[in-house]
Chain A
Amino acid sequence: MTVEQNFEALDQFPVGMRVLAVDDDQTCLKILETLLHHCQYHVTTTNQAQKALELLRENKNKFDLVISDVDMPDMDGFKLLELVGLEMDLPVIMLSAHSDPKYVMKGVTHGACDYLLKPVRIEELKNIWQHVVRSRFDKNRGSNNGEKRDGSGNEGVGNSDQNNNGRVNRKRKDQYNEDEDEERDDNDDSSAQKKQRVVWTVELHKKFVAAVNQLGYEKAMPKKILDLMNVEKLTRENVASHLQKFRLYLKRISGVTNQQALMANSDLHFLQMNSSLNGLDGFHHRPIPVGPGQFHGGAAAMRPYPSNGILGRLNTPSGIGVRNLSSPPPGMFLQNQTDLGKFHHVSSLPLNHTDGGNILQGLPMPLEFDQLHQTNNNIRNMNNNNKSIAANSMAYPNFSTQQNSLIGAPNNNNLLVLEGHPQASPSSFQGHQINKRLEHWPNAVSSSSTLPPPTAQNSHHDSLEWNNVSSSYSIPFCDSTTPGLDTTNPRAFCRNTDFDSNEQPGSFYDSLQMRQSGNYGPTTDVMLSSNSSKEGFVVGQQQKLQSGGFMSGDAGSLDDIVNSTMKQEQSQGDLSGGDLGYGGFSSLRTCL
């Protein structure tokens, strides 16, 4: 729909509200469609969840609401619900013939804004528009406080081509507003007056994560989190909605219902996913299919979730053996925070640098994750944007899928070390890696710095560089750095910590090149996406990773790293990877 159309639709809202209906049962679908037509909504139907996801990913702004059946053969309705909520942030209504309260509860915990029983009556459908309004309203309301919204930021930042996908939250608003500006708070939304949206920057998210960890993931309640965070102008609702998204995100990436898993890594990723995060311009809002939240400078996300138990969760997923999660040293968490801050700072660096941002360029998201595909697109969009962060987020997607491998890993260390997933289609792994990396960064930067200066960070072929990483992190992520940085490589998440943000791209690249040759080495301490050579999601911290892509992580060395890391994880800190510079890694870990 064009903006104008959107506007028109808005004017008559709820008439013309665009609904996507998903149900494998043809009879029910047809009936639902007719009912919705009778309510004067604009209806699109599909009987496959995958198709629905594709439609949504293709253009997030195309729909206002999704109604989905619970039992579907190709994908669980709850999973679809989660994905939609995380990626697109659209209200989703569940539909089922199961009236069992536990299903209803499941719907709620997965983020459904309503649960209807079949057979659906038209009266019930007549009111579903309220969910659209409510969600927009909440978004607006939430954003008031907290981070500044940098209106200019994300939207404005070079992302011209990015369609507001990045900003999931906003997208809807954008539609209405036609206003690229971020903050649009009030003016958009036709319905209610929205207040400023809270932008969940990396820093803020870090605080959030810290608070959650402190309270214990299971017990984290918005009010308490809010108190702990102690951020002015942040409301309980903001926190509540962010918490919900975060949980979903974790769940999603961990592939288990246990949301706690992955807490650690999800930070950045999560942030990224949340479009509301405005941390890094250009980065976030990338429509990162995976992961919630925007990637605020990646760092935030990367951070492995502070151990408080969350890490433990990470392990659960996919059997990565992440054990560490269980209770990472408190220090870690703290560290993260600092790092985060740092990172944040870093990220603020000219992400905008024009240099080929390609960070995301061509990041081929090998992720098996279907999202990957999405991400890729996003990434492409991001080209030239400093979306490097976004790239990271992309990594996330990988990450999520992979989760298995990664999650377990580093828990404590920011190192995402993708555990052995070497090459596994790391899609998820990638992300994971990146996340880790990101996390690493802060740690690396701030404290750990023990890491040997990241040698050429893995040039991620996509050149996801993290532009802002000015701080010389030594997080060597980069897995196999392929000099060529061809986009096709899996994105290696390379963090060139060494570079300082101002470095000219060229130089960076050179240095990367140099580093790359051969050693993924030291820097790789982390996971460099080793596994993923495919997915090398390179997070080009470096400021300007050439678009050439740096380092595509080759699994080769990364594998080693990863493996080593894995071991490390197990042993907690016992770095085996020689060449990878585990030393650094371990130090990082400990730092954490």
Chain B
Amino acid sequence: MQRQVALIKQSLFDQGYLDEQFMALEELQDDANPNFVEEVSALYFKDSARLINNIDQALERGSFDFNRLDSYMHQFKGSSTSIGANKVKAECTMFRDYCRAGNAEGCLRTFQQLKKEHSTLRKKLEHYFQLARQAGPKETARRPK
């Protein structure tokens, strides 16, 4: 079971969903904080869902206030980076580039992509955590080979 968990995690890294930051977080997890990573992830998804909503609304309005969008995205990027959400972060960067270029369509497209990545990651992480819990005492973070 643990092995399975490890494999899943490995694949997440390999596929670029997560990066070293996630590993660093795992390293922070310890007995005093046994579910740290999961908690942080939960926080992240909660926060980011809200942000996504805001951005959605802003985009729907069609007004394209790039500055504001950029600032939302900056926030989003910040937390994604902190948790190690690699792909999401990449989409954020692209979105911001489009914002700066004033490319509304690019923004929209990227945003769709971003949402997709976000929800994929969420599912994967949820799955991962679930397994990890089942697998027993959390394993310590191990750098993927």
Contact surface of A with B, Cβ cutoff 8 Å: 25-28, 30-31, 34-35, 37-38, 71, 96-98, 118-122
Question: Contacts A34-B33, A119-B84 known; A27 to B74 CB distance under 8 Å?
Answer: no
Q: A96 to B77, alpha carbons, bound, how many Å?
A: 11
Residues of A close to B84: CB separation below 8 A = 119
B28 engages A27 (CB within 8 Å): no
Q: Which residues of B contact A71 (CB under 8 A)?
A: 71, 74-75, 78
Chain B residues 1-55 with CB under 8 Å of chain A are 21, 24-25, 27-28, 32-33, 36, 39-40, 43-44, 46-47
If the complex has contacts A30-B39, A30-B43, are A118 and B78 also in contact, measured as CB distance less than 8 A?
yes
The answer to whether residues A25 and B74 also contact, given A35-B28, A119-B82, A121-B24 and a CB cut-off of 8 A, is no
Q: Are B82 and A28 in contact (CB under 8 A)?
A: yes
Return the contact of B47 from the options A27, A97, A122 (Cβ within 8 A): A27
| The one of A34, A38, A98 that contacts B74, using a Cβ cutoff of 8 Å | A98
CA distance A513 to B55 in the complex (A): 62
Task: Return B33 CB to nearest CB of chain A, in Å.
Answer: 6
Task: Tell me the minimal C-beta distance from A224 to chain B in angstroms.
Answer: 40
A119 and B43 in contact, given A31-B25, A35-B28 (Cβ under 8 angstroms): no
Indicate if the CB atoms of A119 and B81 lie closer than 8 Å: yes
The reply to whether A27 and B71 form a contact with Cβ atoms under 8 Å apart is no
> Is A25 within 8 A of B25, CB to CB?
no
Q: Which residues of B contact A96 (CB under 8 A)?
A: 78
* CB of B110 closer than 8 Å to a CB of A: no
Q: How many Å from the CB of B51 to the closest CB on chain A?
A: 10
Q: A26-B47, A122-B28 are known contacts. Are A31 and B78 too (CB-CB below 8 A)?
A: no
Residues of B whose CB lies within 8 Å of any CB of A are 21, 24-25, 27-28, 32-33, 36, 39-40, 43-44, 46-47, 71, 74-75, 77-79, 81-84
CB neighbours of B75 from chain A (8 A) = 25, 71
Q: Which residues of A contact B40 (CB under 8 A)?
A: 27, 30-31, 34
Q: Determine the chain A residues whose CB is within 8 A of the CB of B46 once the complex forms.
A: 26
Expressed in whole angstroms, the Cα–Cα distance for A31 and B28 within the complex equals 9
Chain B residues near A35: list those with CB within 8 A: 28
Assess whether A34 is in contact with B78, with CB atoms less than 8 Å apart: no
With A71-B71, A119-B21 as known contacts, state yes or no: A25 contacts B78, CB within 8 Å.
yes
Q: How far is the CA of A88 from the CA of B27 in the complex (A)?
A: 35
CA distance A35 to B24 in the complex (A): 10
**Would you call B74 and A97 a contact (CB within 8 A)?**
yes
Given A34-B33, A34-B36, A71-B74, A27-B79 contact (CB < 8 Å): yes
Smallest beta-carbon distance A522→chain B, Å: 53
Which single member of A30, A34, A37, A97 contacts B81 (CB below 8 Å)? Answer: A97
Name the residue among B36, B79, B81 with the largest chain A CB count within 10 angstroms: B79
22 contacts between A and B (CB under 8 A): A25-B75, A25-B79, A27-B82, A28-B78, A28-B82, A30-B39, A31-B25, A31-B28, A31-B82, A35-B28, A97-B74, A97-B78, A98-B74, A118-B78, A118-B81, A119-B21, A119-B24, A119-B81, A119-B84, A120-B82, A122-B24, A122-B27
Residues of B within 8 Å of A118, CB to CB, are 78, 81-82
| A35, B47: Cα distance in complex, Å | 20
